[in-house]
Amino acid sequence: MNISVVIPLLNEAESLLELSVWISRVMKEHGLSYEIIFIDDGSRDTSWEVISRLSEENPGVKGIKFRRNYGKAAALNLGFAEARGEVVITMDADLQDSPDEIPDLYRMIKEEGYDLVSGWKKKRRDPLSKTIPTRFFNWSTRRMSGIRLHDFNCGLKAYRNAVIKSIEVYGEMHRYIPVIAKWAGFIKIGEKVVHHQKRKYGKTKYGADRFLKGYLDLVTISFSSRFGKRPMHFFGLLGSLLFLAGFVIAGYLAYERIFYEGYNMTERPLFYFGLLAMILGTQLFVAGFLGELISRSSHNRDSYLVEERLNLS
C-alpha cells in the first residue's frame, strides 16, 4: 500500500464526507493505493455514525473510536500503530488542510529520500491571536531543537513508515513529532509550503492553554531525549556537585572551629547553606540512582480504551 492517511478528529461530523471524497479523488487521479484511518477522539456529535457509513461504502476507510477524549497525540499514536502504508500522511479533519498536497508530500518521501516532511502554512487563515503566539512558539522550538522548520504545529505532515513505527507520541507532543523523530535518529527532515484554507465548519478545539502545555512538553522532550535512558548523568552529576560544595563549606567551617577558639560556626548562615547543599546533593544522587533502576525495568504501555474498530484486523 502506498499511503495511509491518519486523521484525528473531535466533533467534525459536517466535514468528514467531503474530506473522504476529496482524498479518494486525489488518490485515484494519481494512481495511489491508500487507506484512510479516522480516529474519533471521543466526539459527542454524529462523527462516528458518518465514519461508519463511509467505511461501509469504501473498504479503504477505517475507523477507531475512543470511549472518551484522550487528545490529539493519543489519537495519532494509535493511528500510527495501525497504519500500513509506505508513507503516512497526517492531516486535520476540519478541511483546512488540502488533500491536493498529498501527492507532492508522497513524492518528497519516496523520491527525495526525506524521513519526514512538515507542511508550512506560509499564509495562514487564522486570527492574529493565534498567528503571533504560533510564530513565537515556532521560533523558540527551532532554537531549542536545532530543526529549521517554520511550522512545527502544522497538522499536514508526511512520514516514512519506519519513522512512525519508531516513535511514541503522548501528552501534547504531537506538535513536536519532528523533534521526537530527530532524537530517534531520523535526521532528514524537510518542509513544504502548503495551502491553508479557512475553517468551513465548526470551531477550533484548542485554547490558549495549549501554548503553556506545549512548552512544558518541549522541556520534557529535551530532557528525556538527553537523560531519559541515563538519569544518573543528570541527577547524579548535579547531586555530586552540590554535595561537594556543601562538603567544602563544612570543611572550611570545621577548620575555623578547630583553630580559632570561641568560633561558633552554627551562627554563620554559611553553615546552613553547606548543610542544605549536602542534603540536596544526597537526595539528587539517590533520585538519579532510582531513576536508573526504573528506566531499566520499565515498559511502554498504552492503555487507551477503544470502544469500536472498523475494517481493522
pLDDT digits (tens, 9 = 90+) for 39-58: 999 999 999 999 999 999 99
E-assigned strand segments in 96-188: 116-120, 157-160
pLDDT digits (tens, 9 = 90+) for 15-34: 999 999 999 999 999 999 99
Helix (H, G, I), strand (E, B) or coil at 186: coil
pTM of the model: 0.73
pLDDT at 125 over 80: no
Query: Regarding the domain delimited by 3-227, which CATH topology (the fold level of the hierarchy) does it fall under?
Result: Spore Coat Polysaccharide Biosynthesis Protein SpsA; Chain A (3.90.550)
Residue 91 in contact with residue 36, Cβ under 8 Å? no
Give me 32's grid cell. Answer: 495511489
Give me 71's grid cell. Answer: 487528545
Note the pLDDT of residue 256. 83
Give me 34's grid cell. Answer: 491508500
Give me 182's grid cell. Answer: 530527530
The domain ranges of the chain are: 3-227, 232-297
Query: Which phi-psi region, left, alpha or beta, contains residue 31 (left: φ > 0; alpha: ψ -120 to 50)?
Result: left
**Of 209-213, 216-220, 274-278, 283-287, minimum mean pLDDT range:** 209-213
Give me 175's grid cell. Answer: 506538535
Residue 10 in contact with residue 73, Cβ under 8 Å? no
pLDDT at 184 over 90: no
List Cα–Cα distances, 59 to 29, 37, 96, 106, in angstroms.
18, 11, 25, 22
Residue 249 in contact with residue 265, Cβ under 8 Å? no
- How many residues belong to the chain? 313
| Interior angle at CA 183, CA 179 and CA 187, nearest 5 | 80
